[in-house]
Amino acid sequence: MQKLLQRYRYSVILLKQLVKTDFKLRYQGSALGYMWSLLRPLLLFLILYLVFTVFLPVGKGVPHYPQYLLLGIVLWNYFAEVTTGSVAAIVGKGDLLRKINFPKYVIILASSFSALINLFLNSIVIAIFIYFGHVGISWNALLLIPLIVELFILAISIAFLLSALFVRFRDVSYIWEVVMQAAFYATPILYALQRVPHEYAKFLILNPMAQIIQDARHALIGPYALTISDIYGGDRLIWLIPLGITAVLAISGGSYFRARSKYFAEEV
């Protein structure tokens, strides 16, 4: 352990400072400061809530729809923040890369941790809604921990891949923007999977983000949220598909980033 710490000492020191800096800079110059970390998701959520319960009752019949919606939005926002934010992260640090040699993965790791801090702050908002919404919490809620780990790995793997690709191909940012827009609607965030024809639902749920969001809702809010196994008639092995996709992304993203990172300084 001591040896491991020594080896990664520089990375850990850098990581801490970069996350701290990022957090300090985020709300700098705003009067309410850190309050915005809570206020922003709360206000954005209020808009969605008004649109989708009052004007367009998409969530009619979904028990605890506000909490259901909020949880989906928060998890999705984390994913969007990490991946979209990372696309230009390496190129954005080009100036630094050309002047000092440091482990490049720290840049991506730092933005992931910053987003994670945000996710925890957002969880406070969810907790408030869950408390006032009289949602019964069971021990199942503990399943959120492995789900967050999966989400973290999924998002950072894609971030590694995109940021390294962007150094060579600037098209990546536009492509990813479109992909994210499509994925937002392909993922059951606003709607319940029950309303999607079964054969499509079977396909949509294979997306790891859909699996994570549905599992989280199932664990926290209740069985109305269909998990991947519910859709495939109770087959538990089906979980291996989204998990496998995540693993493949992790390996390919990680190894591509590792191989390219030596040349970032020359190519950015």
Partner 1 sequence: MSDEVAVEVNQVYKNFVLPHERVNSIKSLVTSAAKKRAGGSSEVQHALKDISFSINKGEFFGIVGRNGSGKSTMLKILAGIYQPTSGTVRTAGKLVPFIELGVGFNPELTGRENVFLNGAMLGFSQKEVEAMYEDIVSFAELERFMDQKLKNYSSGMQVRLAFSMATRSEADVLLVDEVLAVGDADFQRKCFDYFRELKKNKKTVIFVSHDMNAIREYCDRAVLIEKSELVISGSANDVAKEYSKMFIETAADTGSEPTAKTKRWGVGKIRYSKVKVQPTVISEQPTLMITTKAIAEQDVEDIVFGILIKNASDQNITGTNTQLQGKKIPLVKKGDEIAVDWEIPNIFSDGKYIVEPAIVFADGEVCDWWEEATTFTSAKSHTTPYLVDPSFKISINYPDKRTSKGL
Beta-carbon count within 10 A of 196 CB: 18
Farthest-apart Cα atoms in the chain, separation: 59
CA 61 – CA 232 distance, rounded (Å): 23
Between 95 and 199, CB nearer to partner 1: 95
Nearer to partner 1, 167 or 189 (CB): 167
**Cα dihedral angle (112, 118, 119, 120), rounded to 10 degrees?**
120
Output the smallest distance, CB 98 to partner 1, in A: 6
How far is the C-alpha of 215 from the C-alpha of 181, rounded, in Å? Answer: 22
The type of residue at 177 is E
What is the H or E stretch that residue 129 is in?
helix 105-132
Contacting residues toward partner 1, per CB under 8 A: 9-10, 13-14, 16-18, 21, 24-25, 28, 96-102, 168-171, 262-263, 265-266
For 123, other C-beta atoms within 10 Å of its C-beta total 16
Q: Which is nearer to partner 1, 26 or 202 (CB)?
A: 26
Question: How far is Cα of residue 8 from the mean position of the Cα atoms in its chain?
Answer: 25
Tokens of 32: 């309410």
Distance between CA atoms of 218 and 221, rounded to whole angstroms? Answer: 6
Nearer residue to partner 1 within complex by CB, 60 or 98: 98
Beta carbon nearer to partner 1, 23 or 184: 23
In the complex with partner 1, the residue whose CB is nearer, 195 or 262, is 262
